[in-house]
Structure 1
Amino acid sequence: MFKKFKRIADNLTALAKYFRIKTELAKQRELYFFFPSWSFGGAERVHVDIMNLFNDPKPLCFITDRSITDGFKKEFQAAADVIELGRWAEKKELKQQLYKMLAASINAQQHAVVSGWCSSFMYDLIPYLAPHVQIIDIMHNFKDDDDQAIERYSLPHVPRINKRIVVGNVLIQQFKDLYSINHIPEQYLERLTVIQNKIPFDGVFPEKNYEDTLQVLFVGRNSEEKRPNVFIRVAEIAHDLNLPIEFKLIGDFSPGDTIVPSNTKIVGPVHDKAILNDHYKDAHLLLLTSRRESWGLVVFEGMNMGVVPISTDVGELSNYISRTKENGIVVDNLHNVEDLALQFIKELEFFISNRAHLKTFSINAFNTVKQLYNNCDFDESYRKILSSRSGKYEKRI
């Protein structure tokens, strides 16, 4: 009986969304985004930054998967007209109907642009789109190296994708390797375009006490790829060694589900930028324990507040932070949790014993972000690529 009522409720929800989809598709617009989620994460933050560049009319954004949290829901809804597809992106019969409906509307726009990230739904829509529709793929990072990875799923559509936006040269090399292995002609590498993500910079270096107990942060999702278990293991070892460190776990964690030592505070999710900045202002160090990343936005958010990152060697980060530059530390991206945690402990012990170095690293981290901010062309580059009529869109006030 319960399943029957649930099926009826799902059908009614899908019917209501049909009318919303049809209403939004009837409007004249040129930009259509396809993103899997509006959950808490660096990628979602970037997607908000992108959509905020366009107005009059707003872009139409489709959320194609189930969001784990409502982390950036309000920001998405402020930046675009957003439709969470639900069953329309899940049930085969509904999807086929929706592809045709979307294509009919998008193809009718003279200067239509379709863009998205990590969206198999968008790739499956591509064969329905007319040749004049521009396809702009956004790729933050590669997924796991298996046959189900999204970058592999996209391979049949490479000739139709007009541009692929990536955050740095590491991804360029990964695409070179992927195309070569799969016999994709080299000419399509010319469609890869690097755009550095927008860097937060508040312009004020916060006052910090470098002599007392060190404050160390983890900021990220509670997911396998972010490896919060490594951060917790670091905190456990620090506790056993009686190191003068306090740890904070920021993300979708709850005290009832996450066991941590007494030197660790579970803050939980923080979506308010001002509150998050307060945590950064109080902190000395940030540990990025991820197994993979593209940009590692939280690293730069922290550096903006003088927080020194200690990160696994993932994505593009080694191009920006290093012991040589004295603005952060990159450690080997080991698979073994214990060995990786001990690497982090070694670096924490270095800063405990060298407080003057910690202050130097902190100032240099801040100055690194300042320089990146001054050189960033995020707004201009995305406006140029995502508008088939350059200069049409004005900066949102």
Structure 2
Amino acid sequence: MFQLLLLKRWIEAIFIFPFAWWGRRYARKHPLGESYDLFFFFPFYHIGGAEKVNSDIVQQFPDKKIIIFFTRKSVSEAMLPFFKGPNITLKEISHYTDNKKKYWQNLVWRGIVAEYINSQPNKPRVFNGQCNFGYKLSPHVRKDIVQVELIHLLCSFSYIRIPFLPFYDTTVMISQDAIDAHKALYKKFGIPSSYIDKIKLIINGIPLPATDSLMAPYPPLKCLYAGRGDVVQKRVDLLGQLAAGLYERRLPVTFAFMGNMNGLLDSFPPASYQLLGEKSDPADIDRIYRSHHVLVLLSAFEGFPMVVEEAMARGLAIISTPVGDIPQHVKDGVNGFLVPGDGDLVAAAMERVERLLNDPELLARFRTNNITYARQHFGMEAFAQSYRALLT
């Protein structure tokens, strides 16, 4: 299967060649005007865990000249300020690369950007953060230029990238669960084991709070979901059922949702939950975490979400399904509860919320354990060192 996908890519390259050739000619007549050390390719700059990680990576290189290409239309500019810096140039090319009616423009821009990279006076490095355009560009980049990719979890990109694996020197994954899933995928597609050797685990880092605050007043027990509402895997509908069930039982528990829920909670009693909306200001996010006691996730699958790191660092207990690498960091009964994936998820989660409600000492112990664990494992230092070693 792997060899067939490589053949398919080679055949497509014959069709693409004249468009890319024209793009290279255009780039020679219209050069960037500056030289760059690092080329980054990201799809979006709206709110999202991947976008937060991407912006954090970029900011680890204040001493390098950076250019970032955004290749798909973002629904908002919420995360855009976090990609900015005096050493960073931003290029929005989505009106060329994300236009299905004029797809030929995407083909031309592969040649344009490849020429920009290949013509740099000093050999740059290229980083692809789960960007479709970045994969399609990779064959056009000189073979002596290092290319690195980031994959968050097993997803559609896991398949898109297969024909382009030969062009990447390193594959970064953020969880051991993602690595194991891709090993199985490689075996299924007959991908040589040498590509497994290129995989490197780098756990996402977060800026740790400088100080600890007192636990928020209790009761009521304040539960929080933080994340996107438009991603099916997050199962926001189940969280809505949980919030409604707690409300109907008249328990001293509140439930808040941070993020854009896209109307997914409209069928539940409005009094059963609070919508906080999208937040991008770190101070706002920090305040919201500190004013809650429990982070609840009932996802169908994950890598290792940054919201878990952020919540643990501020002492929130975690109630989550045992997906991705969450069980490696959240130990059932030690710093949170893992809700079995089979059976009635809502009822199981409700039982664990009630356990915390009725046991203040347990909630306090979870808080202490999580703050200690986060300080030991989630700081930015190792994260920064790992990416700098790859890209400098």
- TM-score class, shorter-chain normalisation, is 0.7 to 0.9
Give the aligned residue type for 1:151: S
Counterpart secondary structure, 2:84? helix
Q: 1:141 maps to which residue?
A: 153
CA RMSD across the alignment:
2.3
For 2:196, the equivalent position in structure 1 comes to 189
Q: Out of 360, 369, 391, which is 2:374 matched to?
A: 369
Answer yes or no: is the 8 Å Cα contact 1:26–1:105 preserved in 2: no
1:180-216 CA-partner distances (Å, limit 9, x unpaired): 1101111111100111111331142221256411011
Q: Does residue 95 of the first structure (1) align with residue 106 of the second (2)?
A: yes
| CA distance in structure 2 between the partners assigned to 1:141 and 1:201 by the alignment | 24
Residues 50-94 of structure 1: per-residue CA shift (max 9 Å, x gap): 101123543111111121222201112337321221231133221
Aligned-partner Cα distance in 2 for 1:354–1:154: 48
1:117 and 2:125 correspond: no
Name the structure 2 match of 1:305.
Answer: 314
Contact 1:210 1:358 in 2 (8 A): no
CA contact (8 A) 2:35 2:65 kept: no
Alignment partners' CA distance in 1, 2:66 and 2:180:
31
Runs in 1 of length 4+ with deviation above 6 angstroms?
19-24, 254-257
> Are 2:347 and 1:342 equivalent residues in the alignment?
yes
Cα distance, 1:350 vs. partner?
Answer: 1.1
Label 1:366 to 1:211 Cα distance change in 2 as closer, same or farther (>3 A): same
Distance between the aligned counterparts of 1:189 and 1:333, measured in 2?
29
Q: Does 1:239 align with 2:247?
A: yes
Q: Which runs of 5+ in 1 are unaligned?
A: 1-18, 144-148, 388-397
Q: Aligned pairs, how many? A: 360
The residue number in structure 2 matching 1:287 is 296
Q: Distance in 2 between matches of 1:151 and 1:21?
A: 34
Identity of aligned residues (%): 26
Which residue of 2 is the match for residue 52 of structure 1? Answer: 59
Kept in 2, the 8 Å contact 1:141–1:294? The answer is yes
**SS at 2:346's partner residue?**
helix
After TM superposition, give the deviation of residue 217 of structure 1 in Å: 0.5
CA change 1:45–1:258 in 2 (3 A) is same
CA distance in 2, matches of 1:20, 1:286: 49
Residue 236 of structure 2 corresponds to residue 228 of structure 1: yes
Write the distance in 2 (CA, Å) between the matches of 1:104 and 1:375: 34
2:71, 2:93 within 8 Å by CA — same for their partners in 1?
Answer: yes
Gaps of 5+ in 2: 1-25
Question: CA 1:210–1:330 in 2, change beyond 3 Å: closer, same or farther?
Answer: farther
Query: What does 1:1-397 correspond to in 2, within 5 Å?
Result: 25-78=32-85, 80-90=88-98, 91-109=102-120, 110-143=122-155, 149-209=156-216, 211-223=218-230, 224-253=232-261, 258-261=266-269, 262-324=271-333, 326-334=334-342, 339-373=344-378, 376-387=381-392
Q: Is the 8 A contact 2:208 2:379 kept in 1?
A: no
SS in 2 for 1:150: helix
Distance 1:301 1:20, change over 3 A: farther
CA distance, structure 2, for counterparts of residue 21 and residue 238 of structure 1:
63
